[in-house]
């Protein structure tokens, strides 16, 4: 059995994919939680995380793998997220908006709880990380369910981090990666100003070559996890982290 178990949601693309490709462990079993899958060297946990039945599939994977695990470390990095649909709340399709709320606001909490519960009795290092964004504190018109989801995720991390400091062993962190060159950013640049008035800023960042390579973001996230001076419940930004 591997000494390290890693779950990455949204590993099929973008930052999640780069995290898997730049894994710092020689001996790890990796689970890709996504709809698409197809990531070499991983076990695909097929789940639509905008649907609560997908959370149940992830919990089953966690329970099965952790039931008899006595290795050194378990890590769960929640990357799956979406800006779909971009647009003003009163104007976008209600069913698509509902799915965005479930994925961005509810899934991080439900998956975090499932992971911490399944890992509660382990002896090794236990890390739960979710990807956050400057949008957690800055209201971008056209991104309401995204901004609200990231804000909710940050506060969940602060609260549960406090709980773990009081009565637990797990480290719970939120990490903002900066503006990273993924499909999500390409989609932002393609959006009409009517639906996302701040689009010009993101097009300019791209023209100026200011986007971070996903491999760099992934490597920095793994370096953050290798540190032992970060308090559980911390919400941090790679752009300002020393």
Which spans of this chain sit near ligand NAP (rule: CB under 6 A)?
10, 12-16, 34-36, 47-50, 79-82, 103, 131, 133, 176-177, 179-180, 182-185
Which C-beta is closer to ligand NAP: that of 37 or that of 124? Answer: 37
Q: How far is the CB of 124 from ligand NAP (least distance, A)?
A: 26
> To the nearest whole angstrom, how small is the minimum distance from the Cβ of residue 241 to ligand NAP?
14
Cβ at position 180, least distance to ligand NAP in Å: 4
Task: Measure the CA angle with vertex 55, ends 51 and 57; round to 5°.
Answer: 110
Q: In this structure, what token pair is assigned to residue 230?
A: 């970060």
Q: Report the residue number, 27 or 93, with the smaller CB distance to ligand NAP.
A: 93
Is 30 within 8 Å of 23 (Cβ atoms)?
Answer: yes
Beta-bridge mates of residue 127: 75, 171
Helix, strand, or coil here: 7? strand
- Name the closest residue to ligand NAP (Cβ): 14
The closest alpha carbon to 82, from 16, 145, 163, belongs to 145
Q: Closer CB to ligand NAP, residue 55 or residue 69?
A: 55
**Which residue, 119 or 217, has its beta carbon nearer to ligand NAP?**
217
Question: Minimum distance between the CB of residue 184 and ligand NAP, rounded to whole angstroms?
Answer: 3
d(CA 116, CA 120): 6
Question: Could you tell me the strand order of the sheet in which 4-9 lies?
Answer: 42-46, 28-34, 4-9, 73-78, 125-131, 171-176, 235-237
Nearer residue to ligand NAP within complex by CB, 72 or 216: 216
How far apart are CB 175 and ligand NAP at their closest, in Å?
Answer: 9
Q: List, in sequence order, every residue forming a beta bridge with 104; answer none if it has no partner.
A: none
């Amino acid at each position: 059995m591997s000494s390290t178990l890693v779950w990455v949601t949204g590993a099929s693309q973008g930052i999640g994919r780069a995290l898997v490709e730049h894994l710092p462990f020689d001996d790890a079993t990796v689970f890709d939680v996504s709809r698409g899958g197809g990531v070499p060297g991983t076990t695909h946990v097929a789940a639509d995380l905008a649907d609560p039945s997908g959370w149940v599939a992830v919990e089953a994977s966690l329970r099965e793998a952790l039931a008899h695990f006595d290795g050194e470390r378990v890590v769960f990095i929640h990357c799956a997220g979406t800006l779909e649909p971009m647009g003003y709340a009163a104007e976008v399709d209600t069913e698509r908006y509902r799915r965005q709320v479930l994925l961005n606001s509810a899934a991080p909490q439900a998956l975090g709880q499932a992971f911490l519960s399944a890992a509660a009795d382990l002896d090794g290092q236990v890390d739960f990380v979710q990807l956050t964004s400057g949008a957690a504190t800055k209201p971008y018109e056209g991104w309401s369910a995204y901004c609200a989801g990231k804000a909710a995720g940050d506060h969940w991390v602060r609260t549960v981090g406090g709980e773990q400091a009081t009565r637990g062993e797990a480290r719970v962190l939120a990490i903002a990666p900066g503006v990273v060159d993924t499909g999500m950013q390409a989609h932002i640049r393609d959006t009409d100003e009517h639906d996302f008035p701040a689009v010009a800023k993101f097009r300019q960042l791209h023209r100026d070559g200011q986007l971070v390579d996903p491999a760099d973001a992934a490597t920095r996230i793994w370096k953050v996890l290798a540190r032992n001076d970060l308090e559980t419940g911390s919400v941090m930004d790679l752009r300002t982290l020393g």
